[in-house]
Structure 1
Amino acid sequence: MYRILIVDDDNDIRTLLTRFLSKNNYETDNVRSGATAIAWMRDNTPDLVLCDFRLEDMTATELLPSIREMHPNAAVIVITGYSDVKDAVEVIKLGAHDYVTKPLFPDEILVTIRQALAVANNHTEPVTEGKPTRQAAAKGFIDNAFLTGNSAQFGTIMKQVDLVAPTNFSVIIYGESGSGKEVIARQIHLKSTRADKPFIAIDCGALSRELAGSELFGHEKGAFTGAIARKTGSLELADTGTIFLDEIGNLSYDIQVSLLRVVQERKIRRVGGTKDIDIDVRIIIASNERLWDLARAGKFREDLYHRFNEFSIDVPPLRDRKKDIMLFAHYFLQLTNTELCKDVQGFEPEVKDILENYVWYGNLRELKNVIKRATLLSEGSLIGVRSLPFEIANYSRLQFDHQASADSTVAQERALGSGSFAGKLKAANIDAEYNVILEALKKAGYNKSKAARLLNVDRKTLYNKMKQFKEFDQ
């Protein structure tokens, strides 16, 4: 039985998740703070940690390194509001498997947990005779499908992939988190002469300074406290194949030195070992920052950068590839239909416009989560606006109203003149009040009664305040 630790400062959420997961045959424990979670993990081993992004004493970004250090094999799923999606992307970079957005839906959480545990344990659910399970079918669909996109940018990327794949060049892939860098790396591998050899992907952002050397190079028994047996490192596991090092800029200086030797001499030495091991591995790296800029800032070895910089590919963010958005949306819809045994056929025209004009801070990963949630909520054959998160469904209107409000404030200030501070103070107070109300609504999952309690006002007062702003006029 898998053991899940729930970390959330909301007692109701902890209670509901505990009951739901227990009914689905998971052993659960729950705590309300990051500090308590760390104390619990010193004496217990979770298979998965389900953690709210904003806790009473820290964020998931601050908690995750401790989870990784104490239990590197534990899967982590972050609970977040849509206002925190950009922060959730940072948690993914630190090694979280996925994130789920509020409001929470049981089926969505269950699917995400099953996927995370399958990945963490390097297996999928067993296939029943004659018919695969939902998770096995979904995984097969992911493994056998690759979406190239319709945009000119993606066409250029695929030409570059076809060009560099047959070579043994090292490749740097640049792009924002969630933009599909690992998918590009896998395609390079699959189109190379090493296609039938191992492909190992490592998220360097999830490796602590203490564990990075062991993870990459392996270690000998007794090399350090806790090294009770010899471990084969990822570079050795990838021998004759390809290793993909994502967010390589997070590696410490001493690990960069060791990696330079690998690139130059094609040899590794396990931590605590005395013998060199010859390896033949192709290295593909990825970063969301320009490594040359990091090198000039003294954060990345310049000689290592030049060794890697034999070929580079830039993956543009999803917001710059509007022609690809609906293609990927339909792809994720088909995936989710398979996972949830649903038969949603497509999207209403208004939804298409909304999806194509949203900014997608989390790129493909965020789009995938939105489609999963919308498919789960959809009751008809097409996904409608009601199934989309509030902030995405109303993004264009909110942006327009914010701009109109800003223009009005500027006009007021000009009319009053620079010497009139009373008008400026009033405008600033109104703007601040709007932001406080919006933040409370987000925190409450847009439940007005709960938002009123958070603001310590009655519901009628909140309604009267909201009427002052067009953004809240539903």
Structure 2
Amino acid sequence: MKNILIVDDELNIGLLLSKFLTKNGYKVKTVTTGVKAIDCLSKEFFDLVLCDYRLEDTDGKEILIKIRENYPKTGVIIITGYSDIKLAVELIKLGAHDYITKPLYPDEILNTINKAIEIQNVLNDNHTSVVHQKDNTNNLVYIADNNFIIGESIASKDLLKQIMLVAPTNYSVILTGESGTGKESVAKAIHLNSPRKDHPFVAMDCGSLTKELAGTEFFGHEKGAFTGAMYTKIGHFELANGGTLFLDEVGNLSYEIQAALLRTVQERKVKRLGSTKEIVLDVRIIVATNENLVIAMQNGRFREDLYHRFNEFSINLPSLSARGEDIMVFAMTFLNLANAELNKNIQGFSKEVEACFLTYNWPGNVRELKNVVRRATLLTEGQVIQLKALPLEISTYAKKSVLDFSEQRQQKPRDLKNTAMDAEYEAIIKVLQEVNYNKTKAAKILNIDRKTLYNKMKAVNLDT
């Protein structure tokens, strides 16, 4: 039986929610202040906290932050008396599962709680990091293919929650982040969680488009519309009708094409080149870029009006180096996929390879890691991938690796300061290995906060 903590200073609301959720199979406890809520969480595990935003002694945001820091396996839903999309986005980015406005409706509350519990179960129990549709009830609508991986880091869990927040809407979305962070996979996850999931997902690489080809690729053309038009071509907008159109590297489009794109987005109609017939569009647009479109606007390279059409919601994808706790989760998933592709049964990675993976800076992000694992799987004949199977630039460039630091330690004078640093190094490494490099868990075991752990890791050249 799932355990829910209700935090609300209005006794009647707390009592009504408690009775309703108990009837629906949940174990429920109710408190009226933030202090009592934190005290309960310190004594008992709760799967979910249902918290009013305005409390006598604090607010829902502060409670949310404390829960995220100290009880990451507990989900949070915030209840408030007024609707504010900016606040909702802020709370989701801080880690809330959802945001419910009063008045409260039983069906809505139950559906939101069931969905939050399902997602939290995925986050807590997921080890393979590949999630598929579980049922047809819409209680769990998260669907992903093997290209989207849920990590274990806070950054990955926050990314999932933002996807789950925006997916059911028709908002246009801008995805930003370094090259290789998985923007197309996130776009597809948004599509597959939306009401459009049974309609087309069409991806278009704007970075490879010339000015001459862009019009026909976007809008299509009729046979004979121009010299060389030997057949009728359906454009990407028309192909995606009813579904989602994903435009990658949208910042590379010429100003002229941006103007035509704006007109189509505004009017929700398209005409093939050479045709007079207008086609009504129902398309959700998700765009991606690895450059700063605000700077591009300031420099006159990207239309401000088009930017605001796209920017109804934005998600910044973290780099792989910012998701250190996820690296081996990703690597094992890619290994399983490569095993299936190559008909192999490699079991894992040597300790040296793990150390290398965890300390390399991954400029190509998730895409680079996937390619490295795929290549190493092909080259490996035994049961474990060894250092020699990695590309030379990775095995030699891992400047912060455990192996490199061990060599540096041997060259240092054996004075008291270096001896103490060595002991600290050994303790940190031992704990990190025990918890699979989960820094939050390591900090708790070492009885220090995360910031102190990062500082100590940096001091011994282990910061990732």
TM-score in terms of structure 1 length: 0.53
| Structure 1 letter corresponding to 2:196 | R
Query: Residues of 1 paired with 2:247 and 2:219: CA distance?
Result: 13
| Structure 2 letter corresponding to 1:383 | I
CA RMSD of aligned residues (A): 2.0
Instruction: Answer yes or no: is 1:317 the counterpart of 2:319.
Output: yes
Query: Residues of 2 paired with 1:385 and 1:256: CA distance?
Result: 47
Question: CA shift at 1:145, angstroms?
Answer: 6.4
Instruction: Answer yes or no: is 1:368 the counterpart of 2:370.
Output: yes
User: Which moves more between the two structures, 271-280 or 341-350?
Assistant: 271-280
Query: Residues of 2 paired with 1:239 and 1:397: CA distance?
Result: 49
Instruction: Answer yes or no: is 1:151 the counterpart of 2:175.
Output: no
Instruction: Answer yes or no: is 1:384 the counterpart of 2:394.
Output: no
Higher relative contact order (CA 8 A, sep 6+): 1
Alignment of 1:69-468 (within 5 A): 143=145, 146-397=148-399
Question: CA shift at 1:143, angstroms?
Answer: 3.8
Provide the secondary structure at the position in 2 that maps to 1:200: strand
Contact 2:360–2:399 (Cα < 8 Å) also in 1: no
| Structure 1 letter corresponding to 2:154 | A
Question: CA shift at 1:395, angstroms?
Answer: 1.3
Q: Where in structure 2 are there 5+ consecutive unaligned residues?
A: 1-143, 409-464
**2:115 aligns to what?**
none
Query: Residues of 2 paired with 1:396 and 1:243: CA distance?
Result: 39
| Structure 2 letter corresponding to 1:204 | C
Question: CA shift at 1:376, angstroms?
Answer: 1.3
Question: CA shift at 1:227, angstroms?
Answer: 0.6
* Shift in CA distance, 207/352, structure 1 to aligned 2, threshold 3 Å: same
Query: Residues of 2 paired with 1:398 and 1:317: CA distance?
Result: 18
Query: Residues of 1 paired with 2:161 and 2:177: CA distance?
Result: 17
Query: Residues of 2 paired with 1:144 and 1:195: CA distance?
Result: 16
Query: Residues of 2 paired with 1:145 and 1:299: CA distance?
Result: 32
Query: Residues of 2 paired with 1:235 and 1:255: CA distance?
Result: 14
Query: Residues of 2 paired with 1:351 and 1:398: CA distance?
Result: 13
Contact 2:359–2:400 (Cα < 8 Å) also in 1: no
Provide the secondary structure at the position in 1 that maps to 2:158: helix
- 1:12-52 Cα distance to aligned partner (Å, 9 max, x none): xxxxxxxxxxxxxxxxxxxxxxxxxxxxxxxxxxxxxxxxx
- 1:364-420 Cα distance to aligned partner (Å, 9 max, x none): 11111111111111121111111111221111359989xx9xxxxxxxxxxxxxxxx
- 1:342-376 Cα distance to aligned partner (Å, 9 max, x none): 11000111110101111111111111111111111
| Structure 1 letter corresponding to 2:216 | S
Provide the secondary structure at the position in 2 that maps to 1:321: helix
Provide the secondary structure at the position in 2 that maps to 1:327: helix
- 1:146-192 Cα distance to aligned partner (Å, 9 max, x none): 31111111111111111111110000000111110001000100110
* Shift in CA distance, 313/385, structure 1 to aligned 2, threshold 3 Å: same
Question: CA shift at 1:250, angstroms?
Answer: 0.8
Provide the secondary structure at the position in 2 that maps to 1:201: strand
Query: Residues of 1 paired with 2:343 and 2:168: CA distance?
Result: 39
| Structure 1 letter corresponding to 2:311 | N
Contact 2:147–2:185 (Cα < 8 Å) also in 1: no
Query: Residues of 2 paired with 1:365 and 1:224: CA distance?
Result: 39
- 1:266-306 Cα distance to aligned partner (Å, 9 max, x none): 01121222232111000000000121111111000110001
Query: Residues of 2 paired with 1:368 and 1:147: CA distance?
Result: 12
**2:67 aligns to what?**
none
- 1:237-289 Cα distance to aligned partner (Å, 9 max, x none): 10010000000011111211111112211011212222321110000000001
* Shift in CA distance, 397/306, structure 1 to aligned 2, threshold 3 Å: closer
Alignment of 1:26-37 (within 5 A): none
| Structure 2 letter corresponding to 1:250 | N
Query: Residues of 1 paired with 2:195 and 2:272: CA distance?
Result: 27
Provide the secondary structure at the position in 1 that maps to 2:398: helix
Provide the secondary structure at the position in 2 that maps to 1:394: helix
| Structure 2 letter corresponding to 1:216 | F
| Structure 1 letter corresponding to 2:237 | L
Q: Where in structure 1 are there 5+ consecutive unaligned residues?
A: 1-141, 405-474
Query: Residues of 2 paired with 1:281 and 1:166: CA distance?
Result: 14
- 1:60-89 Cα distance to aligned partner (Å, 9 max, x none): xxxxxxxxxxxxxxxxxxxxxxxxxxxxxx
4+ long deviations beyond 4 Å: 397-401
User: Which moves more between the two structures, 206-215 or 181-190?
Assistant: 206-215
Query: Residues of 1 paired with 2:281 and 2:383: CA distance?
Result: 53
| Structure 2 letter corresponding to 1:384 | Q
Contact 2:148–2:186 (Cα < 8 Å) also in 1: no
Provide the secondary structure at the position in 2 that maps to 1:294: helix
* Shift in CA distance, 363/299, structure 1 to aligned 2, threshold 3 Å: same
Paired positions, count: 262
Contact 2:171–2:284 (Cα < 8 Å) also in 1: yes
Query: Residues of 1 paired with 2:295 and 2:159: CA distance?
Result: 23
TM-score in terms of structure 2 length: 0.54
Query: Residues of 1 paired with 2:238 and 2:148: CA distance?
Result: 27
Query: Residues of 2 paired with 1:302 and 1:321: CA distance?
Result: 32
